[in-house]
């Protein structure tokens, strides 16, 4: 799997209802998208739930590189670019991504971006992430988890989707609301 995300920073006075309406009206268009595992429509409102700024920041887990390629060169992404400009797209190789059958009930997300030491034993780090996952999602508040690494910046990227807001453990966490979840 490939993890992919982009974050569109919006002005402090941007009416976030526009983003919520966009998700409600267009979110279904990624349901069943070829090659997609999961797309979480994430957004934040400045000052709410610890968010520093207004942002739209979808997070994807792709099952195939072809699906990701076709999405980025297709009409859905072109429409986003027409509205907001073309964002920088981050991608990372997923060690795992799993979600429960009731992932659509997710209301909050935490995205962590953590630097990986140059001396890190990648196999050992992967094992640590397996432990972080903490079992199957869905037994409690956590409905989806993913861990990936970006070898361009040697950054660990983790996602968790949950029913309730979770408090971040460190300073490298971004907190979001989940407007919708689409499955491929």
Alpha-carbon distance 102 to 99, whole Å? 8
Predicted pLDDT at 132: 76
Q: What is the pLDDT of residues 50-87, one digit of tens each?
A: 777 999 999 999 999 999 999 999 999 999 999 999 99
The average pLDDT across 10-17 equals 94
Predicted pLDDT at 182: 96
Predicted pLDDT at 52: 79
Q: Residue 101 pLDDT more than 80?
A: yes
Contact present, 46 and 12 (Cβ < 8 Å): yes
**CB < 8 Å & 24+ apart, contacts of 8-17:** 8/55, 8/56, 8/57, 8/84, 8/87, 9/53, 9/54, 9/55, 10/53, 10/54, 10/55, 10/56, 11/54, 12/46, 12/53, 12/54, 14/54, 16/43, 16/45, 16/54
Check residues 130 and 117 and name the one with the higher pLDDT.
117
The average pLDDT across 165-174 equals 72
Alpha-carbon distance 26 to 41, whole Å? 11
CA angle 64, 67, 68 (to 5 degrees): 95
Q: Residue 154 pLDDT more than 70?
A: yes
Predicted pLDDT at 170: 62
Predicted pLDDT at 72: 97
């Amino acid at each position: 799997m490939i993890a992919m995300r982009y974050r569109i920073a919006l002005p402090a006075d941007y009416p976030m209802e526009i983003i919520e309406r966009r998700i409600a009206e267009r979110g279904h268009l990624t349901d069943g998208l070829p090659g997609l595992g999961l797309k979480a429509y994430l957004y934040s409102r400045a000052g709410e739930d610890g968010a520093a700024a207004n942002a739209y920041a979808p997070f994807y887990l792709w099952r195939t590189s072809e699906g990701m390629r076709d999405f980025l060169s297709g009409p859905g992404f072109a429409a986003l670019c027409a509205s907001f400009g073309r964002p920088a797209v981050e991608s990372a190789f997923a060690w795992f991504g799993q979600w429960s059958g009731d992932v659509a009930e997710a209301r909050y997300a935490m995205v962590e971006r953590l630097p990986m030491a140059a001396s890190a034993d990648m196999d050992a780090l992967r094992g640590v992430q397996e432990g972080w996952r903490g079992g199957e999602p869905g037994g409690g508040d956590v409905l989806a988890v993913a861990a990936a690494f970006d070898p361009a910046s040697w950054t660990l990227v983790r996602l968790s989707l949950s029913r309730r807001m979770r408090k971040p453990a460190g300073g490298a966490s971004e907190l979001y609301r989940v407007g919708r979840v689409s499955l491929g």
